[in-house]
Amino acid sequence: MGTPRQHRRSGLLLSVAAVAILGFVSGTLVHASPDAQPDAQGAHLQGVQGIGESMILVIAGVFETQAEAEAFRDTHPFGDSAGYFVDATDNYRFRRVYRQESPSYVSIACPEQEDGPKPFHLLEDHPNLQRLAPSEARAMLNDESRSNCGVLGEVPCFADSVAPLSAQIRWPHGRWLAVSAFRTLDGASEFVGLGRRAGVENPLVVQAVKLNGPYVGLGMESHPLEPGPLTEPLEQQESYQ
């Protein structure tokens, strides 16, 4: 047996159970509506919401008002599905921030054509996310060697992704999030790749503990140790993050 990290699996697998509890359509990220909430009876609402759990938040935006967050969510669906949920920053305790360590796009040459090879841009579906403590994030923000960030073939600009946090890399209070939550780093990484297709190039990715609030997407990722979706907390869950 290896460590939990060695048993991760990728892919968003949805089972009949996930359809019944979360309103998903099997095989996709679709849910009934952006404001749909799972039934508390028989669904263990606290577990579905993730209250008390350490989780990874993929945040598309931090907004002054709930209405602004809802407007963003409604205008950034994943095809026919809604990819983000709305929740308050005060419902979480911030712990760490993640930095994308692989580029969003690289240039690949097409096969030889009559008029010569033409490069095209390849989208990476599963970016590599590195977990940083706030002190590490502050140091990296001041690293001048990262000046080439954001160009083709380089990692995204980290300063841009942590801009919604304060200068001290602390959690902003009294704001609203367009967010989707995951129990594993693999699930969050895959979602970041999917989000690029919805126009969210460089989301804010953090580790946080959920203190209260609504359902924000738990159950969309594959279970790392067995077939089917991850609908319940994992033992030693932080080791998957």
- d(CA 140, CA 34) in angstroms, rounded, equals 35
Please report the pLDDT score of residue 207 as a whole number.
97
* Unique residue bearing structure tokens 């509890």: 21
pTM value is 0.77
Q: How far apart are CA 80 and CA 19, in angstroms?
A: 16
Query: How many domains does the structure of the chain reveal?
Result: 1
In Å, the largest CA–CA distance within the chain is 64
Model pLDDT, residue 139: 87
Round to whole Å and give the CA distance between 39 and 226: 25
* Distance from C-alpha of 230 to C-alpha of 237, rounded to nearest angstrom: 11
Instruction: Determine which helix (DSSP H) or strand (DSSP E) holds 63, and give its type and residue range.
Output: strand 54-63
Examine residue 148 and state whether it is found in any structural domain, yes or no.
yes
Domain that holds residue 113: 55-215
Determine, yes or no, domain membership for 173: yes
Residue 230 lies in a domain: no
Q: Is residue 17 part of a domain?
A: no
* pLDDT values of the chain reduced to their tens digit, one per residue, 241 residues: 344 433 333 334 333 223 222 332 223 333 333 344 444 333 445 568 999 999 999 999 999 999 999 999 998 877 655 589 999 999 999 999 999 988 888 888 776 666 666 677 777 678 899 999 988 998 888 776 667 888 888 888 888 889 899 888 999 999 999 999 999 999 999 999 888 777 788 899 999 999 999 999 998 899 999 999 998 999 999 999 9
Cβ neighbours, 10 Å, residue 81: 16
